Structure 1
Amino acid sequence: MNGPDWRAALDASGVLRRLARFDPRVAGTFPLGLAVPGSDIDVLCHAPDADAFAAALWAGCGDFDGFAMWQWQWQGLGQKADRPVIASFSVAGVPFEIFGEARPVREQDGWRHFSVEKRLLRLGGEDLREAVMNARRQGAKTEPAFAWVLGLKGDPYRAMLDLAELDDAGLLEVLKVKGSPGG
């Protein structure tokens, strides 16, 4: 699932070009090499105007297989209430999820999770990747899989955001202290 199929589907979709004005960034399990059957391509977007973003999604992606779009009331961790717009669909049999919210992508929880997971995998090496993949194969979502492998307590999404605040030296300490396979 981590090979060229997802990249070919991403290219075929034209999503990055179609949504270019919303700073689309691919995140999640595919670029991390942690996809399992059923994983989707996650694209995070900066959508300060939810209506304009929704219109762009309809215009650019509305003809894709299984297209669905919704907006929900959401309170990000430590953030004011927001109404992200989410769309899902498939291209070449690969599921996509597009997420747009008012915060710039680099500040979004999903991007911060992705960034720290990428750093942890770089620092923890193949042993950490395999341990996380084993948890993923057993049905765990990505953040809970990392939290379990690292022995983090409490809400795994909050715990991963806390790790995102650490520099690489701090992450190495977490890997070492938690006795993870990468430490």
Structure 2
Amino acid sequence: MTNRFSDCTSLLKDHKVLEILSEFSPEFVGSIPIGVDLPHSDIDIICELRHSILKVLESFSSYPSFQISEKVLGNIPSIICRFRLGSEKVEIVAQSLSPKKQIAYQHMAIEEKILNEKGETFRLSVLEKKKEGKNTEEAFAELLGLKGDPYSSLLEYGERE
């Protein structure tokens, strides 16, 4: 785990973000927990979409840059809440699936497994690709030689391995 992960976890704890979201099974996912983040990477939190979530997300409305939107992500209707905690950008995505079944969680689990198998040199290569402008999934897919859509090809790679 990176120091940034610890710093972000402390920030979330200090502001009780995961506690406020606790009834929605929040998970801190994305590039920060697995150490392939860049300084501008968001704190990504996924949780389960339930009727009461909008009211709970509104409790973050006093934070800078607060906004809530609806979007279809991977064919799944989603509610996205964004705001800032100090210098960090936070993005909460709620979908009608348990968080561990959401694609963001599955991608992170596959990426973490790959990093554990391929080591530090591979992790540094992912970071280089991201500095060139690729997102995390694109960087992994390119380094692994995966063809087609990086999101689905990474899931398929994870199922094969």
Same fold by TM-score, threshold 0.5 exceeded? yes
Q: CA deviation at 1:142?
A: 0.4
Matched letter for residue 70 of structure 2: Q
CA contact (8 A) 1:2 1:30 kept: no
2:4 is equivalent to residue 10 of structure 1: no
Q: CA deviation at 1:2?
A: 4.8
Match of residue 123, structure 1, among 114, 117, 134: 117
Aligned-residue Cα RMSD (Å) equals 1.6
Q: Which residue of 1 aligns with 2:28?
A: 26
C-alpha distance in 1 between matches for 2:14 and 2:134: 29
Q: CA deviation at 1:57?
A: 0.5
C-alpha distance in 2 between matches for 1:14 and 1:65: 16
Q: Which residue of 1 aligns with 2:53?
A: 53
Q: CA deviation at 1:71?
A: 0.8
Q: Can you give the 5+ residue segments of structure 1 that lack an aligned partner in the other structure?
A: 171-183
Q: CA deviation at 1:160?
A: 1.1
After the TM superposition, which segments of 4 or more aligned residues of structure 1 sit over 4 Å from their partners? none
2:146 is equivalent to residue 152 of structure 1: yes
C-alpha distance in 1 between matches for 2:73 and 2:10: 34
SS at match of 2:116: helix
| Residues matched between the structures, number | 159
Matched letter for residue 37 of structure 2: A
Matched letter for residue 21 of structure 2: L
Q: Which has the larger radius of gyration?
A: 1
SS at match of 1:71: strand
C-alpha distance in 2 between matches for 1:163 and 1:21: 32
Length-normalised TM-score, structure 2? 0.92
C-alpha distance in 2 between matches for 1:32 and 1:112: 13
Q: Can you give the 5+ residue segments of structure 2 that lack an aligned partner in the other structure?
A: none
Q: Deviations over 1:85-126 (max 9, x none)?
A: 001111021111000000111111111101100111111111
SS at match of 1:97: strand
C-alpha distance in 2 between matches for 1:92 and 1:34: 21
Q: CA deviation at 1:13?
A: 2.6
C-alpha distance in 2 between matches for 1:144 and 1:98: 21
Q: Deviations over 1:31-90 (max 9, x none)?
A: 11111121000001011x2x421111002x111111111012x262xxxx5321001111
Q: Sequence identity, in percent?
A: 30
Q: What does residue range 1-183 of structure 1 map to in structure 2 within 5 Å?
A: 2-3=3-4, 4-47=6-49, 49=50, 51-59=51-59, 61-72=60-71, 74=72, 76=74, 81-166=75-160, 170=161
